[in-house]
């Protein structure tokens, strides 16, 4: 019987996370009423930004989107079809519509990025931060291209914090010698769940109580 490890699911997890963030980028670009090129760029940056940063920092070649170039074609088709469908249906796109796929991508990318760093025997804090950067960077670039301050920085909801503690959970599960696939899927699910709870229950992190002068 084949041994099931995290690497067995690496490509499917990466595909799911990429699709989730691509969907969040597509919705964000549609809300800004961008043209076809703008929609494709924002969707691509959201989908591949975090994974590309991870691959650069871990010195992994080729990049995921280079090694699986067919997914770029699929993303292009998804953007074009979505634009036609949304225009014909006159769909009202809400802010929360972006947050749901973003929460899924956050969990999957954070857990996978941490597990990949652990496989290289990097220090614990580096592995956790690698998971956070993988999960957050695509959304940051998406918001910047949409001419917004990244939500991860200014909405005072736990976002990167949830990804960080979820990444530490990946490290803990590995230290407890749990099966590698559990080390990825359980933290990914918990990160997604807590992010959704933070959205619906309006959890807030403490904010700065500093008044700006003239």
User: How is residue 109 written in tokens?
Assistant: 């990318």
For the chain, what percent of residues have pLDDT higher than 90? 22
Does residue 108 surpass a pLDDT of 80? yes
User: How is residue 156 written in tokens?
Assistant: 């005072």
Report d(CA 60, CA 102) in Å as an integer.
24
Contact 131, 50 (CB under 8 A): no
CA atoms within 13 A on the CB side of 10: 14
Contact 48, 65 (CB under 8 A): yes
Contact 6, 182 (CB under 8 A): no
pTM over 0.85: no
Residue 28 has a pLDDT of 84
Residue 90 has a pLDDT of 55
- Per-residue pLDDT of 34-59, as tens digits, reads 888 888 888 888 888 888 888 888 88
Higher-confidence residue: 128 or 69?
128
- Per-residue pLDDT of 154-180, as tens digits, reads 777 888 899 999 999 999 999 998 888
- Counting every residue, how long is the chain? 214
Among 49-53, 79-83, 163-167, 192-196, the least confident range: 79-83
Does residue 214 surpass a pLDDT of 90? no
Report the pLDDT averaged over residues 127-139: 91
């Amino acid at each position: 019987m084949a041994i099931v490890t995290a690497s067995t699911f690496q490509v499917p997890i990466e595909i799911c996370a990429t699709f989730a963030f691509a969907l969040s980028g597509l919705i964000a670009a549609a809300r800004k009423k961008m043209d076809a090129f703008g929609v494709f760029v924002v969707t691509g940056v959201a989908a591949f930004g975090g994974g590309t940063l991870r691959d650069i920092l871990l010195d992994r070649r080729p990049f995921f989107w280079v090694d699986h170039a067919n997914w770029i074609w699929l993303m292009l088709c998804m953007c074009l079809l979505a634009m036609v469908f949304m225009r014909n249906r006159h769909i009202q796109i809400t802010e929360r519509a972006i947050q749901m796929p973003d929460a899924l991508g956050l969990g999957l990318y954070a857990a996978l990025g941490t597990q990949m760093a652990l496989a290289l025997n990097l220090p614990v804090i580096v592995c956790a931060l690698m998971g956070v950067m993988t999960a957050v960077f695509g959304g940051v670039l998406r918001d910047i291209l949409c001419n917004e301050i990244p939500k991860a920085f200014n909405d005072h909801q736990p976002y990167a914090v949830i990804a960080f503690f979820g990444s530490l959970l990946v490290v803990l599960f590995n230290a407890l010698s749990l099966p590698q696939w559990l080390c990825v899927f359980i933290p990914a699910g918990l990160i997604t769940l807590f992010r959704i709870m933070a959205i619906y229950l309006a959890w807030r992190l403490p904010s700065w109580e500093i008044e700006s002068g003239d």
